[in-house]
Amino acid sequence: MKKKLLVALLVLAMTVAMFVPAAAADEPSHATHLELAQDLQAASEAGGGTVILENSEIHLGSLVGSGLWFTAGMNIMEDVILIVRNSTIYFDWTVNFNDIYISDGGTLIMDEGSKIVWTEKNGICAGHIWVYNNTGNPGVLNARKGTFDRGEPYSDNAQIQYSYNSVRNSGIIYLAYEGQIGVIGSPSGILVGTSNIVPFANYDALDEAIDAAKALSPAGYTEESWAALEAALDEAQAVYRYFEIEDQDIVDSAVEALLAVVDALETYLMRLQAELDAAGEGGVVVVSGDTFVITAGYQLIVPYGVTLIFEGDAVLDLDGGGLFVMNGGTFLLEDGGTLIIRGQYAVTIGTNGIPLAVMDISRGNLINMYTGFFPTVTNQGELYILDGQVLGSLQSYSGAPFVTYANYAAVDAAIALADEIDRSIYTAESLADLDAAIDAVEWGIIARYYTGGFASDYDNRVAVRAQIADWADAILAAIDALEVRVLSYDVKVSSTNLQNNTTVTITVTINYADGAIAEVSATVKLKQNGTQTVKVGDYDVTVVVNGNNKITDIYVGVPAGGGSKGGNGNGNQQ
């Protein structure tokens, strides 16, 4: 059978169907066999047309007295097209000749969700599908998207009766694959006349491959491999859907092409592992800003001689999967790097042997979400953590060092505050005290060193934590004690003429480097004719009086200790 004829019939069916209103969503198009039969007869009497059976269940039964052409079954003829969609037709009446007749240009198209079912109620001659060619205009059964079900197994006698439940063919039958209709009857033979049966290629494997590809999520896959999958999926969905069985190899090739691209999908974890494997002895692989999730059944392996560094907000999330640092390998968490542990035995550091594997997470972030009994980390290498990092249960074998560094978080916070100050506004002496407090910190103290057996929670960590707190407090105290520099002094006197009254009020205005202003005043009795020093608050003020008893100069002196808030210093004169 030529493909041209097939395509023409399909296009005709689709074109005519466009003019027939479909049932509303989930609403049945026909409630009874009688309604369907009346619509088919009306279409036939009109010279052809399309009837859509949708969202319905039709039980073929006796229509004696209805005035229709037949008593129990269904006639599709004279250029009538019946499209069955999301519906089931049952052969379940007890009378004989309960059949479907397709002839004289009639077409039955079994669309998505269509099904024909034989049940145990059939009589000995009931339940045939007749596809005829009586007038040179053949009937057509297009069953590519439909399914056939002969129901539950029956007794031997009933099974013999089912040898009559057949498709009698002198018209044209299009199947999805060879043997599709064979399921409806007994092994003694189902099809009567097979010369005009045209099986389609089987698209089941292609549909399964497409559905599986659509179900995948791009999360975790590299952009390049995901783009390749999207392109392959587009090609698979564009494969011509009406190849006959002789072109099955074309469909099979499309399946193989799509599956090959799915198999070639590369995750970022796979790419990272490939980089580690290719780095070689002495190689360093740095991960910055990316997140890697390792699920159950998968493991990231740091090979011999290779260093893996997670930094800059990079995250390694062991969500059921594992991290294995091989002997001679190194795993480091630097500033911003994060390791998340969610399950037991998530991390393995080396095996018995030399050189030892190394894992140092003391400079990064550790998040342990596992609360079970079993260890989360098995250490047979060298493990370095920060005091306060919670590993969960740790198993450290004999000879495998487990080192806990002191946690300098409080000191780091205090130094960060010191770094934020504007040093230009403070006195050199107070800045020197701050610098001395920072320089007093001893870095790299080990709060705990332990080897062998199961690590326990003891040692000098309490003393180390107290020392860290003292250093932090000393830095904070030095910050609080910083003195702001004095930029200048302004001195005013209530009167410069001492001829009649030698008692005056002197006011000193202090201008600080941070923009602050302070003022202090005092009323004093001055001597006539000469230079003298008087006290105004904490400040020594020098006053020069000439022979005419007039003040010619007045200024703040320089006391011991320098000029600052709370001290004296040189400034402007007035």
The structure tokens listed for 240 are 């011509």
Q: Are residues 112 and 214 in the same domain?
A: no
Closest alpha carbon to 406 in 359, 442, 440 = 442
Q: Are residues 391 and 469 in the same domain?
A: no
Rounded Cα gap, residues 15 and 9, in angstroms:
10
Sign of CA dihedral 22, 27, 32, 35: negative
Number of Cβ atoms within 10 Å of the Cβ of 362: 19
Q: Are residues 29 and 167 in the same domain?
A: yes
Give the range of the structural domain holding residue 297, as residue numbers without chain letter. Answer: 268-405
Q: Are residues 238 and 283 in the same domain?
A: no
Q: Are 344 and 370 in contact (CB under 8 A)?
A: yes
Instruction: Establish if 562 belongs to a structural domain.
Output: no
Q: Are residues 212 and 195 in the same domain?
A: no
Greatest Cα pair distance, the chain, in angstroms, is 150
Q: Are residues 350 and 426 in the same domain?
A: no
Strands 551-556 and 539-545: antiparallel
Q: Which residues, in sequence order, are bridge partners of residue 175?
A: 199
pLDDT at 446: 85
Q: Are residues 22 and 87 in the same domain?
A: yes
Q: Which residue has the tokens 């006698």?
A: 157
pLDDT, one tens digit for every residue, the chain (574 residues): 434 334 334 433 333 333 344 455 678 888 888 889 889 989 989 989 999 999 999 887 655 445 554 555 788 988 999 999 999 988 765 555 567 888 888 999 888 889 887 765 544 445 677 787 777 788 888 887 887 776 554 333 322 233 344 565 577 777 766 556 554 333 333 454 555 667 778 888 999 999 999 999 888 888 999 999 999 999 999 998 778 788 999 999 999 999 999 999 998 899 999 999 999 999 999 999 889 999 898 999 999 999 999 999 999 999 999 999 999 999 999 988 999 999 888 999 998 778 899 999 999 999 998 888 788 888 888 899 988 887 777 777 766 778 888 999 999 999 999 999 999 999 999 999 999 999 999 998 888 776 654 444 445 678 888 999 999 999 999 999 999 999 999 999 999 998 888 899 999 999 999 999 999 999 999 988 889 999 999 999 999 999 888 999 999 984 333 444 433 334 343 3
pLDDT at 204: 87
Instruction: Establish if 527 belongs to a structural domain.
Output: yes
pLDDT at 168: 56
Instruction: Establish if 566 belongs to a structural domain.
Output: no
Q: Which residue has the tokens 């049945």?
A: 28
Number of Cβ atoms within 10 Å of the Cβ of 223: 10
pLDDT at 305: 95
The structure tokens listed for 466 are 């107290």
Q: Are residues 52 and 129 in the same domain?
A: yes
Final residue of a structural domain among 199, 216, 244: 199
Instruction: Establish if 418 belongs to a structural domain.
Output: yes
Instruction: Establish if 452 belongs to a structural domain.
Output: no
Rg (C-alpha) for the chain, rounded Å, is 47
- CATH number assigned to the domain comprising residue 244: 1.20.1270
pLDDT at 455: 46
Q: Are residues 341 and 419 in the same domain?
A: no
Q: Are residues 399 and 502 in the same domain?
A: no
How far is Cα of residue 421 from the mean position of the Cα atoms in its chain? 41
Q: Are 555 and 533 in contact (CB under 8 A)?
A: no
Q: Are 437 and 477 in contact (CB under 8 A)?
A: yes
- DSSP structure class, residue 484: B
pLDDT at 26: 76
Count structural domains, the chain.
5
Q: Are residues 195 and 310 in the same domain?
A: no
How far CA 381 is from CA of 270, 326, 403, 412, in Å, comes to: 25, 9, 11, 29
| Distant-in-sequence, close-in-space partners of 281: CB < 8 Å, separation ≥ 6 | 304, 305, 306, 328
Q: Are 194 and 120 in contact (CB under 8 A)?
A: no
Rounded Cα gap, residues 546 and 535, in angstroms:
20
Instruction: Establish if 362 belongs to a structural domain.
Output: yes
Final residue of a structural domain among 263, 285, 305: 263
SS3 at position 210? helix
Q: Are 425 and 485 in contact (CB under 8 A)?
A: yes
Q: Are residues 162 and 39 in the same domain?
A: yes
- DSSP structure class, residue 424: G
Instruction: Establish if 275 belongs to a structural domain.
Output: yes
